[in-house]
Amino acid sequence: MIPFVDLARQHAALKPALMQSLERVLDSSRFILGEQGAALERELAAVMGVRHGIGVASGTDALRLALAALRVGPGDEVITPAFSFVASTTTIVMTGATPVFVDVDPATYALDPAAVERAITPRTRAVVPVHLYGHPAPMDAIVDLARARGIAVVEDAAQAIGASYAGRPVGSWGDVACLSFYPTKNLGACGDGGMVVTDRDDLAERVRRLRHHGDAGRYRHAELGWCSRLDEMQAALLHVKLAHLGAWTDRRRAIAGVYAARLGGLPLGLAVERAPARHVYHLYTVRHPQRDALQTMLADLGIGTAVHYPIPVPAQPLFGIDGERRWPEAWRAAREVLSLPCFAELTDGEVERVAAAVREACARLR
Ligand SMILES: *Cc1c(COP(=O)(O)O)cnc(C)c1O
């Protein structure tokens, strides 16, 4: 059996260094808002090409805090893709603002800038481009549109750490960007974690305050905040892993290259990398009109796969919007997408076996 993802392989390889980093935190016994977190914030801000990083409790909180720092709230509209992980939208709802769904590009699954432009109203306060699967959204067009109208850009880079667009890192295009360290993400903690990154001093300061009870220093609480910090244990573990992120990304890209070479010519939509984007393949996602049958056959052939995501965001029971006519690509993607194993520790032999199994399953489905 080839698993869809296997974090134990990564942790076995790094175990001595990870244990050492935990021991250092335990010895210091400083667990919240200490040197580990501050160091990671500096390191990741540099990776993302901005000046500030603010560690928070999750990617979801990073989005919520970024929107709150922008003072998005009731009466505002925020543009978000109809096809993404649900947190790209629920965090907008949490602020009291109204999410405005926009359809995605069928090849990259990114926000379609023309559709974004059509969705803008006088109440639009922000747009949330998601770099889904690790493929950057077309940031030049989205930022141009937004800047011209005074609309904020909040990048959901939860799946795309290390990706870039036109040579510039994702996370440095918008006003603010959000990272997730959910364990299976490209840079995953051993628990929950996230970070807000930004070049704007005002937003950085506000997120710092909001993540820590609205604290303006010395137990003076200037405004209503939350309790959402990245703890020192997670920061220390992430520091160890960050040193490997470049090599892991190269390996994911090499695996994607093998899939592209072996799976051409099948009735299968492959993952694309559309210039000038640099994809980090958090997920290698294909599409097939008989997705469920393909997934079952691959399971029978010993290949683990996953569906990201089976339900378009507006159709989630929590929203309950029947929007297939308005956002047809989101609905079609939810029916057709299938993610293949694509993690750095896969062996060359395993990658070849996945590709052979996909070829065999597609032949049987013809
Ligand atoms: C994972 C993810 C989030 C949320 O991150 P958590 O750390 O799980 O809260 C938000 N948006 C996208 C696109 C994600 O993949």
**What pLDDT shows up at residue 37?**
98
Q: Which atom of ligand 1 is nearest to the CA of 159?
A: 15
Considering the domain boundaries, does residue 2 fall inside one?
no
Name residues of the chain where pLDDT drops below 50. Answer: none
Tokens 């009731």 belong to residue: 74
Using a 6 Å cutoff on CB, does residue 154 contact ligand 1? no
The C-alpha atoms of residue 53 and residue 39 are separated, in whole angstroms, by 10
Q: Which atom of ligand 1 is nearest to the CA of 181?
A: 7
One domain for residues 277 and 137: no
Using a 6 Å cutoff on CB, does residue 84 contact ligand 1? yes
CATH number, domain containing residue 317: 3.90.1150.10
One domain for residues 208 and 95: yes
Which residue owns the Cα nearest ligand 1 atom 6?
Answer: 59
One domain for residues 187 and 263: no
Which residue owns the Cα nearest ligand 1 atom 7?
Answer: 59
Task: Name residue 197's beta-bridge partners.
Answer: 53, 177
One domain for residues 37 and 170: yes
**What pLDDT shows up at residue 217?**
87
The C-alpha atoms of residue 103 and residue 110 are separated, in whole angstroms, by 9
| Boundary (domain end) residue, out of 214, 242, 270 | 242
One domain for residues 227 and 256: no
CA angle 181/154/335 to nearest 5° reads: 70
One domain for residues 231 and 268: no
**What pLDDT shows up at residue 153?**
98
| Boundary (domain end) residue, out of 182, 214, 242 | 242
| Boundary (domain end) residue, out of 242, 265, 298 | 242
Considering the domain boundaries, does residue 1 fall inside one?
no
Helix axes 348-365, 291-300, angle to 10 degrees: 130
> pLDDT by residue (tens digit) across 192-225?
999 999 999 999 999 999 999 999 888 999 899 9
One domain for residues 110 and 126: yes
One domain for residues 177 and 288: no
One domain for residues 253 and 158: no
The beta strand positions in the chain, using DSSP E, are: 52-56, 77-81, 98-102, 124-127, 152-156, 164-165, 168-169, 176-180, 194-198, 277-278, 284-287, 337-340
E strand or H helix at 62, and its extent?
A: helix 59-69
Residue-range definition of the domain harbouring residue 235: 7-242
The C-alpha atoms of residue 261 and residue 355 are separated, in whole angstroms, by 9
CATH number, domain containing residue 27: 3.40.640.10
**What pLDDT shows up at residue 284?**
98
Distance 51 CA to ligand 1 centre (A): 22
Position 221: which residue type? H
| Total domains in the fold of the chain | 2
Q: What is the β-pairing status of strands 52-56 and 194-198?
A: antiparallel
| DSSP, res 138 | -
Ligand 1 mutation pick, 86, 180, 231, max ligand atoms within 8 A of CB:
180
Ligand 1 mutation pick, 56, 60, 187, 281, max ligand atoms within 8 A of CB:
60
The beta strand positions in 214-287, using DSSP E, are: 277-278, 284-287
Measuring CA to CA, which residue among 310, 292, 333, 277 is closest to residue 134? 277
Using a 6 Å cutoff on CB, does residue 156 contact ligand 1? yes
> pLDDT by residue (tens digit) across 103-139?
999 999 999 999 999 999 999 999 999 999 999 999 9
Using a 6 Å cutoff on CB, does residue 59 contact ligand 1? yes
Average pLDDT along the chain: 97
One domain for residues 232 and 306: no
* 233: helix, strand or coil: helix
Measuring CA to CA, which residue among 342, 352, 13 is closest to residue 186? 342
Using a 6 Å cutoff on CB, does residue 158 contact ligand 1? yes
The C-alpha atoms of residue 222 and residue 131 are separated, in whole angstroms, by 34
Considering the domain boundaries, does residue 85 fall inside one?
yes
CB atoms within 10 A of CB 348: 10
Q: Which atom of ligand 1 is nearest to the CA of 132?
A: 13
**What pLDDT shows up at residue 366?**
80
Distance 266 CA to ligand 1 centre (A): 32
One domain for residues 227 and 253: no
Task: Name residue 2's beta-bridge partners.
Answer: 303
